Structure 1
Amino acid sequence: MTIGGIIVARGRTSQGTPMDDHHGWRPTSTHTAAVVTGILLLAAAVLAGRADIALIGIPSLLAATLATATRPTTPQTATLHEPTGPTTPGELTATLHLTTGPTTADVIHLRITAPGHRETHLALAAHARPRTGTGEDADAGGSTEDAAERRVPLRLSSVRTGPQETFDITMRGSRHGTWEEEPTEVGGARRLVLPGTVPLGRLPLPLRLRGLTGPHSSRRLGDGSELRDIHPFTPGDRLRRIDWRTTARRSPELDTLYVRRTYSSAEASAVLVVDSRDEVGPDLRTWRGYGTLRVDEPTSLDLARHAAASVAQALVEAGDRVGLEDLARRRRPLPPASGRRHLRRVVHGLALAHPKDRATEHQVRPPQVPADAVVYLFTTVLDDAPLHLVRTWRTKGHPVIVIDTLPDLHPVIEHHLWIAWRITRLEREDRLAALDREGVPVVRWAGSERDKAAVRFEALARAAQRHVPGRVPGAPRTANP
């Protein structure tokens, strides 16, 4: 997959029309009509013996002769410049550079298309000072110092993420209305759109924390900022931990030294598991593989990318470790790590998540999760595989949080689709009810529920602190054990 860069136009002949010897230029119907009209009028003048008819046909032949003498000899060139590297959702931009010589076209016709957008047609003057033109999905305009060079800015609006097809431009030049060029296609690169994020605040943490340093306080003794107790000095305690005030109060003779013992600091580990085996939109008719998904409506995979990127950002900002697993691409998982650079790798991996061919679909096996890690599963819960994965992880002692990424669906009109969706919805509700009975929290990430996700995560984090078994008395409530 190519991202960004400069794409040079490559000519392609229209079907059924042979290429001309002069770089693809061919006479138009106007040129042919002028020649045929002149010849017919001259023939009629000779047969009728009337000079006035000949005078009418001579200008047509002169115009055709002049057009043949000024036949274009060089083709026009076009390059499409696109920003290099991944981009963010919202708008995809590019600039089309058109270059014409003095003996080429004087009018350039453009047909600009993109998946999910309306087709836009533009007619530009090649040698005149350009005026700004606008289209619904592509804007054209601008000027350059060279009158023979035109720059056409292009823009696409879309809320979709991941690999996205961009501009497909067909260019055709004409000269004096008598010569036209073979259509030339300029194809845009496939762009990678990274998912956006929203602030989430505090997230639920696993019951046990690992690591020798981090932003949280664990239940182990060690170096940290949270006080555990005051204890008599034992071999192995550091001298800087001695509390001289307590020692002077409890042992005036300095027979026993007392040290301050603290909870060791640690970091949490989380694994984001994205169920990218399918991608469904709000329109049920597109679930069968027919039709095109709209660019102004996020799909289930777009919501999963957005939710996973938001959770990853919140974990990294808190100093925790985060990893990524893709159920459709099990070959290259990202192990848990921390830092801004790792966050960019996670977001890039989320953008590359996409469904694979149904013909190669196999039974989903639970990914390997590090010990004492919390699992965030992003799925639509349209089959039994997520339920099996959750039960497997919980059996191994991993806390699991399910993020429901099914988008809000449009009203169903067709009766057969309504029956099929009713059956699917009932099965899905049974799976969600089973998760609720087993104590697995489910966070909805679609429509208006997306704005309540931060509050839901905060409530889960507080509930985890209140109901953790074996909490040490006096331990601070601001830290998750």
Structure 2
Amino acid sequence: MTVGGVIVSGGRTSRGDRADGGRGWRLTSAHTAAVAAGVVLLALGVLAGRPDVALVGVPGLLAAAWGRSTRPGGAGAPRDEDGDPHGTLHEPEGTAAPGELTATLRLTTPPNAADVVHLRISAAGHRTTEVALAARPRSEQAQPVRDVPLRLSSVRTGPQETFEIDVRGSLHAVWEQEPTQVGGTRRLVLPAAGPLGRLPLPRRLRGLTGPHSARRLGDGAELRDIHPFTPGDRLRRIDWRTTARRSPDLDTLYVRRTYATAEATAMLVVDSRDDVGPDLRTWRGYGTLRVDEPTSLDLARHAAASVARALVEAGDRVGMEDLARRRRPLPPASGRRHLRRVLHGLALAHPTQRASVHRVRPPQVPADAIVYLFSTVLDDEPLHLVRTWRAKGHPVVLVDTLPDVHRATASHLRIAWRIARMEREDRLAALAGEGVPVVRWAGSERDRAAVRFEALARAAERHVPGRTGAP
């Protein structure tokens, strides 16, 4: 957690309860200690006949008496909440970019209200930070306003908790204010998209135009063959050189036939039924996940965002389905605005109470579409989905999003993870034996994912000449 940078926007404030009839001020422990020390020294000096000892306690008593008389706003003066130091947390509107969350704490310190403002800043997964700031000079007529920029670093995506701040004013180290709680809202952090090259595509392409060459005849740039002219062929496609060579008398005209261009359709299926981190102790739902270690759902969001951007930039259509939510899927479309909708849907993907309910049937996939399944493969549900889609003729690419698990210290956790790991390896081996490509997206293997996708795309080209296809 860092205090730095400046961003001002809209936000909300919640104030703490007042313990002194709306004034919210109390004497500090320093004042009590000064009074106690002065009384003790004065009593010892009188009893022992030591005036020098008694005089040592007099300054502490005088300082305590003077500080008590300088109550914020004056003795008996009525005050309201706006007359005390308070803060308002301002956060940027909309979604946030991954890696960093920013906000601005606006402190308002009226004249004669406080000389020091204490802040206690906390956030989920971060250490609590305490800051003491000097208030503005009390000679100012207008209410001094001070902006304290805040920055929070995290690799997590999706809904994230932001800052919780306690504001407390102090005057002459004698009076201290009851803490005022300033709370932030939940922020939605969109996943970042990494660079990818070519990706596996479905065997059949749809549409009358697009960036890829289909297997049917039509307008395109890739030559299919030279064929005699037939009714319906366009005159501009006549190949006069071939006609002159094969039919010098121009008895037969020859035309150049090409492959039609089309676009691919892909469905991104995110298995958000569970969200596990590298620490096995947090898999039971207890404990706090670290903000510097991505979870399986963070990896799934990042992988799906990378695949979606690569497909959209190539001119293909992309849709999205969330296995944990029983809602209508995001239909396939293309364009930058649709990519923004896909990223927003990925950020909203999270486990729900109904996530453990078994689906009666797999999500519906458009015809001639390839399926990218992002899952940890910790149960048999992904196998059921993959086999059903492949039985209907849809090619499937499984992206493994389980993070690198840390070695457990407890023996029962090591045994449980060993059993779960062997079951998971059996599922992955079964999918690989059925011809389903598996791409690992965790740790150092994430950097090699683009190479793996490129190899799958090239392998498909060897099986389907003339166009890019899927394995």
Q: State if a TM-score over 0.5 links the two structures.
A: yes
**1:12 matches 2:16:** yes
User: Could you say if the C-alpha distance between residues 88 and 51 of structure 1 is closer, same or farther in structure 2, counting changes exceeding 3 Å?
Assistant: closer
Tell me how far apart the structure 2 counterparts of residues 420 and 54 of structure 1 sit (CA, whole Å): 71
Tell me how far apart the structure 1 counterparts of residues 304 and 124 of structure 2 sit (CA, whole Å): 26
TM-score in terms of structure 1 length: 0.86
User: Could you say if the C-alpha distance between residues 232 and 126 of structure 1 is closer, same or farther in structure 2, counting changes exceeding 3 Å?
Assistant: same
Letter in 1 for 2:13: A
Distance apart, 1:69 and its partner CA: 4.1
Give the corresponding residue for 1:28. Answer: 28
Letter in 2 for 1:21: G
Give the corresponding residue for 2:462. Answer: 466
Q: Check whether the contact 1:128–1:147 (CA below 8 A) recurs between aligned residues.
A: no
User: Could you say if the C-alpha distance between residues 60 and 285 of structure 1 is closer, same or farther in structure 2, counting changes exceeding 3 Å?
Assistant: closer
Question: In the TM superposition, what are the counterparts of 1:335-354 in structure 2 within 5 Å?
Answer: 335-354=331-350
Q: Check whether the contact 1:8–1:78 (CA below 8 A) recurs between aligned residues.
A: no
Distance apart, 1:277 and its partner CA: 0.2
In structure 2, stretches of 5+ residues that fail to align are: 1-7, 74-82
Distance apart, 1:266 and its partner CA: 0.4
Give the corresponding residue for 1:314. Answer: 310
User: Could you say if the C-alpha distance between residues 53 and 404 of structure 1 is closer, same or farther in structure 2, counting changes exceeding 3 Å?
Assistant: closer
Give the corresponding residue for 2:91. Answer: 82
Q: Which of the residues 99, 108, 129 maps onto 1:99?
A: 108
Letter in 2 for 1:179: W
SS, match of residue 221 in structure 2: strand
Question: In the TM superposition, what are the counterparts of 1:435-454 in structure 2 within 5 Å?
Answer: 435-454=431-450
Tell me how far apart the structure 2 counterparts of residues 43 and 454 of structure 1 sit (CA, whole Å): 81
Distance apart, 1:84 and its partner CA: 2.3
- Post-superposition CA distance 1:53-104 (Å, at most 9, x none): 9999987776555444432232112122222222222221222121211121
Q: Which of the residues 110, 117, 122 maps onto 2:126?
A: 117
In structure 1, stretches of 5+ residues that fail to align are: 130-145
Distance apart, 1:268 and its partner CA: 0.6
SS, match of residue 330 in structure 1: coil
CA RMSD of aligned residues (A): 3.0
Tell me how far apart the structure 2 counterparts of residues 370 and 325 of structure 1 sit (CA, whole Å): 12
User: Could you say if the C-alpha distance between residues 41 and 407 of structure 1 is closer, same or farther in structure 2, counting changes exceeding 3 Å?
Assistant: closer
**1:233 matches 2:229:** yes
Letter in 2 for 1:20: D
Segment of structure 1 superposing worse, 94-103 or 420-429: 94-103
Segment of structure 1 superposing worse, 73-82 or 259-268: 73-82
Give the corresponding residue for 1:72. Answer: 72
Letter in 2 for 1:229: D
**1:361 matches 2:361:** no
Tell me how far apart the structure 1 counterparts of residues 110 and 340 of structure 2 sit (CA, whole Å): 45
- Post-superposition CA distance 1:135-157 (Å, at most 9, x none): xxxxxxxxxxx993332221211
- Percent identity for Structure 1 against Structure 2: 74
**1:291 matches 2:287:** yes
Letter in 2 for 1:205: L
User: Could you say if the C-alpha distance between residues 42 and 293 of structure 1 is closer, same or farther in structure 2, counting changes exceeding 3 Å?
Assistant: closer
- Post-superposition CA distance 1:15-68 (Å, at most 9, x none): xxx621353122334445667888999999999xx9999999987776555444
Distance apart, 1:250 and its partner CA: 2.9
Letter in 1 for 2:112: T
Question: In the TM superposition, what are the counterparts of 1:43-442 in structure 2 within 5 Å?
Answer: 63=63, 66-73=66-73, 74-127=83-136, 148-357=144-353, 361-364=356-359, 365-442=361-438
SS, match of residue 223 in structure 1: coil
Q: Check whether the contact 1:109–1:171 (CA below 8 A) recurs between aligned residues.
A: yes
Give the total of aligned pairs.
450
Tell me how far apart the structure 2 counterparts of residues 46 and 161 of structure 1 sit (CA, whole Å): 68
SS, match of residue 329 in structure 1: coil
Tell me how far apart the structure 1 counterparts of residues 178 and 344 of structure 2 sit (CA, whole Å): 40
Tell me how far apart the structure 2 counterparts of residues 33 and 454 of structure 1 sit (CA, whole Å): 67
Q: Check whether the contact 2:123–2:161 (CA below 8 A) recurs between aligned residues.
A: yes
Give the corresponding residue for 1:133. Answer: none
Q: Check whether the contact 2:102–2:149 (CA below 8 A) recurs between aligned residues.
A: yes
Tell me how far apart the structure 1 counterparts of residues 421 and 213 of structure 2 sit (CA, whole Å): 43
Tell me how far apart the structure 1 counterparts of residues 292 and 408 of structure 2 sit (CA, whole Å): 19
User: Could you say if the C-alpha distance between residues 228 and 52 of structure 1 is closer, same or farther in structure 2, counting changes exceeding 3 Å?
Assistant: closer
Distance apart, 1:243 and its partner CA: 2.3
Tell me how far apart the structure 2 counterparts of residues 274 and 384 of structure 1 sit (CA, whole Å): 15
User: Could you say if the C-alpha distance between residues 446 and 42 of structure 1 is closer, same or farther in structure 2, counting changes exceeding 3 Å?
Assistant: closer
Tell me how far apart the structure 1 counterparts of residues 114 and 150 of structure 2 sit (CA, whole Å): 22
